[in-house]
Chain A
Amino acid sequence: MKLPGQWLTAAAFLAVGASVSAAPLGLPPVPVPADNPQTPAKIKLGDRLFHDKRFSADGKVSCSTCHDKTKAFTDHLPVSKGFNGLTGTRNAPTVINSAYMKTLFWDGREPDLEGQSKQPPVNPVEGGLHDHKPILKTIRGDREYTAAFSEVFDVAPEAISMDHVAKAIASFERTVVSGDSPFDRYQYGGDKTALSEAQVRGLELYRNKARCVSCHTIEATQAIFTDNRFHNIGIGFKKIRGQEEQTAEEFVRSKRAGADVDKTVLTNANVSELGRFAVTENPTQVGAFKTSTLRNIAVTQPYMHDGSLKTLADVVDFYNNGGRLKETDPLSAFQSGGIRPLHLTDQEKQDLVAFLESLTSPQFKPQAGK
């Protein structure tokens, strides 16, 4: 597995044991946990693990199945497809810039990348394994792996654990960062020609009338385009409309009786719509999902936690109508107070989409003819 040039550049900045690394234009230094410093060997190991299909029940699903670098580390499907073609309930978020996320998964049920990567292989609609043992068995029987783990973690084959695996994958993911978009060159690089007139108008709307920036943040020296918080914007609630109480009650009771959150939210369509509530049981977070980054948004369609919106124009319409596709659609009782009708004109909607298209980094720009 060879890293494209842009990431190699980013990876090359990583000093062994450093807590931060230099970042592309428009992004802050990548935060690195003290107990999992970046090293070139670890990143290389993580890269290989990320692409290894053997860590699934049918031997066909790796991390990269749903986080495909040729698709900007998504799968371009509404919801992801796991082993034997089984589908879950949620859209695969891009790995790009996930290093800046303060919680992982749409509902933030894991605090870090290390915790995140352990779950999909053993989810019944993703990797489909019953437990992590087959992964460790495969690794211990692979001489290239045992040599790499020995070099990176100084462990004997029988001492290799899922913590080691997760650390290596997380280290690789921390190199998948991308900035340097036309917006970055305009905003942080001093190149006032980097955006078109429509895109400049779109940025103004983004900051003001369209109310985007309050959650998809842009700061003075950098922009990760997420507040790392959870909001109910109105997506998906129609699925459980009128059943919220019953769904929440049944879920909370089964959770208290020991049900696994990761498995339940991906296999039960109604429970999935409870969002952050499934993790916190906080009634103010029903249907709240994590603000996703907007970097490379034009190449990570479809959109929203259930992949229900196909185009950026649909997304803008959805927000313009106060969190619904049509003005006549009902509103969720749990909807965030930040969502309200925007009264954008058709021209303004087009400008906003044009601006969102300026957030694509050069290495993810669709190739001509594609």
Chain B
Amino acid sequence: MSKSLNRREFLKRGSALLAAGSLPLSLVEVAFGKNSPENFTFAYVSDSHITHVKGKEFVRNWDRGLIRAIAETNLLDPRPDFVFYGGDIAQLGKREEIDHGLEILSALRGDVHYVMGEHDYYLDLGDYWRKQLGPDHYSFDHKGVHFVVLNSILTFDEWTHDKWPSAEERMHQMARLDNPQGSPFMVGQAQRDWLKKDLDKISKDTPLVVLSHSPLQKIYKGWNFWTDDAEQVQALLKPFNKVSVLYGHVHQIQYNQIGNISFNSAMATAWPWPYPASYKQAASYMPKLTVDMNRANPFFERDATGWQFINTHTGNVDVHYLLPDNTNRVVAYDRKAGHPVDSEYQAAEDRIPPQTHY
């Protein structure tokens, strides 16, 4: 904050933070849910990557990230109707990691709906996760909105079942970035059939909110910011008037609009990823609307991590990013523009250019 900041700006900035941090009921005005006069918010926490070291020891940094996100989520006023956990509770799919993560997550106030991440899956193909948390794809209705959760991190059967000498090796391979031995994520035929049947029952003017771990769009294959059958899934969502896809996995803020579908990512509670463009000096197909994330201060382990709460009052989603040691941001669907708009970095001249590596 510069010394020239006058009192009015100072107070105004305070209230802008207020709007991003907590949401007075008076702001929730426009009813949109079909057959429902109510508006609602939900919280969205993702990518904690709880990592077992040995015995009862876990990586402190990732524990602290999840603990902090939960403590902050519990402060939301008004209370969110429920919480989504966006996947990757664990780092290497171990029972110790899932148990420890769920123990920390048990401090959350309210119901939690879980999404499967690849780090939860590729050790035992999701057995322990499903035993603890139930099915990895499901749908439910809430106040006029139809929610769908998909397991988008599956891949070819051959890669999963025939390629690796051990489950641990399979997990390690899938955990790597830029891995020539890796394999692209996909929702798969069986789940797409299930999704089609599920959506057949829903009228086209019902707002849809779809959660997946990987983006249901193609951004960068080398890091699996990618779902191989994204177009086929998008085709099933196309007939609906209002569709929002929320995904984790990327550990950074992304947003995009493809036809009727708005895309918004979640921050990780563990660590930030740089944008792939800054890593690979080649076309990365980042969504055009996305503003590059500024660089994290490595001293503050929580910088460039965070969590989000989501306001559904416009009929599409407004994603409020809560970013410790940084500036909170809101990416809200703009009805006039027809796509999500970033509240913090709209003007090109205000943007921080991405890093370039040589």
Measured between C-beta atoms, what is the minimum distance from A241 to chain B in Å?
11
Cα separation A244 to B67 with both chains bound (whole Å): 14
Q: Which of A31, A112, A279, A337 has the most CB of B within 10 A?
A: A337
Partner of B299, one of A103, A211, A280: A211
Cα separation A16 to B324 with both chains bound (whole Å): 42
Determine the chain B residues whose CB is within 8 A of the CB of A228 once the complex forms. 1
B77 touches A102 (CB 8 A): no
A244 touches B325 (CB 8 A): no
B7 touches A111 (CB 8 A): yes
B1 touches A103 (CB 8 A): yes
Determine the chain B residues whose CB is within 8 A of the CB of A252 once the complex forms. 22, 77
> Mask for A285-296, Cβ within 8 A of B = 1, else 0?
010000000000
Determine the chain A residues whose CB is within 8 A of the CB of B6 once the complex forms. 111
Cα separation A282 to B329 with both chains bound (whole Å): 12
Q: Label chain B's interface by main secondary structure.
A: loop
> Mask for A110-142, Cβ within 8 A of B = 1, else 0?
011001000000000000000000000000000
Asked whether A97 is an interface residue with its Cβ less than 8 Å from the other chain, the reply is no
Partner of B75, one of A33, A283, A340: A283
Cα separation A284 to B20 with both chains bound (whole Å): 11
Asked whether A245 is an interface residue with its Cβ less than 8 Å from the other chain, the reply is yes
Partner of A337, one of B5, B24, B325: B325
B301 touches A338 (CB 8 A): yes
B300 touches A336 (CB 8 A): yes
A286 touches B64 (CB 8 A): no
Cα separation A93 to B23 with both chains bound (whole Å): 33
> Mask for A241-258, Cβ within 8 A of B = 1, else 0?
000110011001100100
B302 touches A336 (CB 8 A): yes
Asked whether A7 is an interface residue with its Cβ less than 8 Å from the other chain, the reply is no
Determine the chain A residues whose CB is within 8 A of the CB of B1 once the complex forms. 102-103, 111, 228
Determine the chain B residues whose CB is within 8 A of the CB of A333 once the complex forms. 67-68, 70-71
In B59-95, which residues have CB < 8 Å from any A CB? 60-61, 64-65, 67-68, 70-77
Measured between C-beta atoms, what is the minimum distance from B67 to chain A in Å?
5
In A321-338, which residues have CB < 8 Å from any B CB? 331, 333-338
Determine the chain B residues whose CB is within 8 A of the CB of A281 once the complex forms. 17-18, 21-22
A283 touches B21 (CB 8 A): yes
Determine the chain A residues whose CB is within 8 A of the CB of B10 once the complex forms. 111
Asked whether B342 is an interface residue with its Cβ less than 8 Å from the other chain, the reply is no
In B1-17, which residues have CB < 8 Å from any A CB? 1-3, 5-7, 10, 14, 17
B77 touches A249 (CB 8 A): yes
In B304-319, which residues have CB < 8 Å from any A CB? 305-306
**In this complex, what residue of A is CB-closest to B75?**
A283
Measured between C-beta atoms, what is the minimum distance from A8 to chain B in Å?
25
In B21-80, which residues have CB < 8 Å from any A CB? 21-22, 24, 60-61, 64-65, 67-68, 70-77
A111 touches B5 (CB 8 A): yes
Determine the chain A residues whose CB is within 8 A of the CB of B60 once the complex forms. 340
A279 touches B299 (CB 8 A): no
The 9 closest A-B pairs by CB, nearest first: A337-B301, A337-B302, A333-B71, A282-B21, A283-B72, A111-B10, A214-B299, A284-B324, A280-B17
* CB pairs A–B below 8 angstroms (22 shown): A102-B3, A111-B1, A112-B3, A115-B7, A214-B297, A244-B74, A280-B14, A282-B18, A282-B20, A284-B322, A284-B325, A286-B71, A286-B75, A331-B64, A334-B72, A337-B64, A337-B65, A337-B303, A337-B305, A337-B325, A338-B300, A338-B325
B interface residue numbers (CB < 8 A to A): 1-3, 5-7, 10, 14, 17-18, 20-22, 24, 60-61, 64-65, 67-68, 70-77, 109, 297, 299-303, 305-306, 322-325, 328
A interface residue numbers (CB < 8 A to B): 31, 33, 102-103, 111-112, 115, 211, 214, 228, 244-245, 248-249, 252-253, 256, 279-284, 286, 331, 333-338, 340
